[in-house]
Amino acid sequence: MRQFFVLLIFLTLIAYTKSFPSSTFRRDSLSGYTQCEGTFPNEITTASYEPNPAISGENLTVTIAGMSTVTVQEGATLNVTGLYQGKQAFVHNMDFCKVWVEVNGDRCPVSPGYFEYTTQLPIRPPPDDPKNTTISYDSIFQIYNPGDPKTELSCLKGKFDVSYP
């Protein structure tokens, strides 16, 4: 009888977990990105973008979240570098406070603690826009506080896919 109840509990657990989509138990909260080598005081623990792949000429919705131990100062920047076949394909530098913090109703300086920001970024087609292909860029996302020298707060690296219709 005891074996019957153990089997019943086991089957119930299997049925319960199968009733949820696999994305419910997604383990990759960084969407394929990883922390860069080194230590950074403001750790990004969640990162995602939609659509995935990004579509050239359309807006991209990006979400990041994590824990910070260092204040994000006015004038902080986000630098995005993309490499294709080992060569620099693009660099975008943006005011982190204006593009990320303020659009979420906050202001810099941002005190240490939990953060979550969502923003929309345009994917501007390059002049020599390829057609009917998707390109996977090796990308690095770095957030810096201003100063001399700048203080690197966060860093992620990974693939960033862009579809060119």
Q: Is the pTM of this model over 0.85?
A: no
Calpha distance 43→115 (Å, rounded): 10
As a dihedral over the C-alpha atoms of residue 75, residue 36, residue 139, residue 74, rounded to 10 degrees, the angle is: -10
Calpha distance 70→98 (Å, rounded): 18
Listed by start position, the domains of the chain span 28-164
Query: Model confidence over 91-111: pLDDT tens digits?
Result: 999 999 999 999 999 999 999
CATH number for the region 28-164 comes to: 2.70.220.10
Query: Model confidence over 44-93: pLDDT tens digits?
Result: 999 999 999 999 999 999 999 999 999 999 999 999 999 999 999 999 99
